[in-house]
């Protein structure tokens, strides 16, 4: 990675403080329904926090072009609502019990209500987005949601077995990087970017999102439950092969391969422990290989910004890949 730009997380928070405060108000307002269960679920999810990385990227992208309008906050809420809706559906599909250190919404309201609340959130996001009266924005959001749903279906088809690295990269693009990329594009559209500028920011979002998800998958294997806010190695328990696991499967002995594939197939650690799996991953430097790939994506994201002149906003965007690679949760 390059030398860290002269800006840090606190400075970025200060830079976006008013926008993020407005986002919380908009998010809270947009998730109110006449149906009490939807409002309760929406408020529970909003109160669960999260890093708000996606709307923050949209804000920074629009600020590159000195955009001053209300649309950034409105669309920031849209992308956070879409992200929240995907988490609701993901937790139901994965039968998750916790999310961000709290009981998952489906454990509180049941799967049926949460599926419908997730659907309502998707539709509400589009209802809010329509207020921009911009077909390019709607096209980007429609393509995004189709990609994300297709990605979830593809992942379900591949559960319980090993997959190739190319399949993995396609999945994490749909799962994470696509939304990061669209956030950057939306900010560029609001700001009146040229096609070249919009494409550069879309590439930045793609590469940052790929790095983010690879690091997330490594942390799932290596961080503590207290830090993660969910059980360690949840991906393996759910039958998902992530990059470090795929890397080891391509190099390990038949006996080691059997251990990993048994966990994926049975979706439990019966007869095999988490430390034993970590030992295999470390033997083949698989965790380091995944981190190295994430670092390359982060560097590529920084390079995509080279067409833009130096500014406080550009320095903030240059810092984001550094944060993604060094984060511990």
Query: What pLDDT, in 10s, does the model give residues 251-262?
Result: 999 999 999 999
On the question of pLDDT at 263 being above 70, the answer is yes
The mean pLDDT value for 26-32 works out to: 94
The 8-class DSSP code of residue 329 comes to -
Query: b/e map of 180-193 (b: 16 or more CB within 10 Å)?
Result: bbbbbbbbbbbbeb
Task: Give pLDDT, residue 302.
Answer: 98
Read off the tokens for 128: 């809010």
pLDDT in tens, 156-190: 999 999 999 999 999 999 999 999 999 999 999 99
Q: Which domains does the chain have, with CATH numbers?
A: 9-326 (1.10.600.10)
β-pair type (98-99, 102-103): antiparallel
**Any bridge partners for residue 99, and if so which?**
102
């Amino acid at each position: 990675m390059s030398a860290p730009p002269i800006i840090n997380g606190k400075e970025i928070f200060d830079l976006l403080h008013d926008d993020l405060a407005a986002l919380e108000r908009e998010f809270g307002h947009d998730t109110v329904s006449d149906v009490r269960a939807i409002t309760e679920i929406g408020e529970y999810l909003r109160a669960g926090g999260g890093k708000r990385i996606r709307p923050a990227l949209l804000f920074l992208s629009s600020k590159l072009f000195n955009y001053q309008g209300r649309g950034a906050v409105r669309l920031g809420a849209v992308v956070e609502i879409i992200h929240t809706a995907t988490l609701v559906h993901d937790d139901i599909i994965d039968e998750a019990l916790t999310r961000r250190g709290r009981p998952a919404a489906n454990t509180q309201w049941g799967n049926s209500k949460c599926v419908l609340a997730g659907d309502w959130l998707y539709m509400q996001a589009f209802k809010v987005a329509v207020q921009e009266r911009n077909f390019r924005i709607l096209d980007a959001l429609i393509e995004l949601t189709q990609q994300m749903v297709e990605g979830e279906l593809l992942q379900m088809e591949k559960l319980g077995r090993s997959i190739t690295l190319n399949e993995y990269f396609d999945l994490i693009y749909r799962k994470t990087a696509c939304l990061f990329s669209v956030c950057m594009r939306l900010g560029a559209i609001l700001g009146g970017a040229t096609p070249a500028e919009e494409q550069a920011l879309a590439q930045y979002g793609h590469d940052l999102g790929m790095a983010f998800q690879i690091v997330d998958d490594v942390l799932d294997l290596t961080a503590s439950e207290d830090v993660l806010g969910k059980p360690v190695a949840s991906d393996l328990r759910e039958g998902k092969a992530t990059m470090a696991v795929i890397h080891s499967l391509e190099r390990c002995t038949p006996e080691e391969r059997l251990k990993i594939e048994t966990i994926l197939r049975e979706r439990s650690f019966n007869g095999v422990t988490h430390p034993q799996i970590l030992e295999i991953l470390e033997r083949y430097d698989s965790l380091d290989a995944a981190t190295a790939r994430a670092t390359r994506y982060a560097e590529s994201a920084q390079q995509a910004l080279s067409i833009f002149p130096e500014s406080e906003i550009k320095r903030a965007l240059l810092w984001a890949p550094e944060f993604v690679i060094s984060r511990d949760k």
